[in-house]
Amino acid sequence: MKKIILISFITLLSLTACQEKAPQIVSGREWNAGRNLVADTTSSFLHWDPLIVQLDYGKNFDFDSLKCEIIDESGKVRYSKMTAVSPKMGSYTLQGKKKGSIMTIGDFLRSKKPQTATVRFFAKDSLIVEKNIQVIAEK
């Protein structure tokens, strides 16, 4: 009986260790180049805050192109970019550049008003993941 419980436990551990994590979007204001990740993570931004968006796919990409869209609260696509990716990649980071600095959320949305925006990532016209972010009023 103890052997059956031990074998069941080992099987369960091996199955949970092999699980892939679900794709997720991480957004923030700062980028840590040494670790290749968003350093100051948040979902609420002032319109002048820089916006860095990172898609963590959870495994290596199994497609060759990735589309990112940023949509305002009225449903209008304010930013869209198609990017080539490779199977050696497992994450993608969007850092728009404007006059030598990172684009702000206001630049992406072309608006300074408080609102909810949606960031979406697509592969082969299929939605991978989406995330809502808030643009809040100046304090």
Nearest Cα residue to 70 out of 56, 55, 80: 80
pLDDT of residue 27: 93
pTM above 0.85, yes or no: no
pLDDT tens digits, residue range 49-92?
999 999 999 899 999 999 999 999 999 999 999 999 999 998 99
What is the radius of gyration, based on Cα positions, of the chain? 19
Domains of the chain: 20-136 (2.60.40.1930)
Token pair of 66 as six digits: 């990735």
Which residues, in sequence order, are CB contacts of 96 under 8 Å at separation 6+? Answer: 51, 79, 102, 103, 107, 108
Q: What angle do CA 24, 69, 30 make, to 5 degrees?
A: 60
The residue type found at 108 is F
Task: Read off the pLDDT of residues 33-44 as tens digits, 9 standing for 90 and up.
Answer: 888 889 888 899
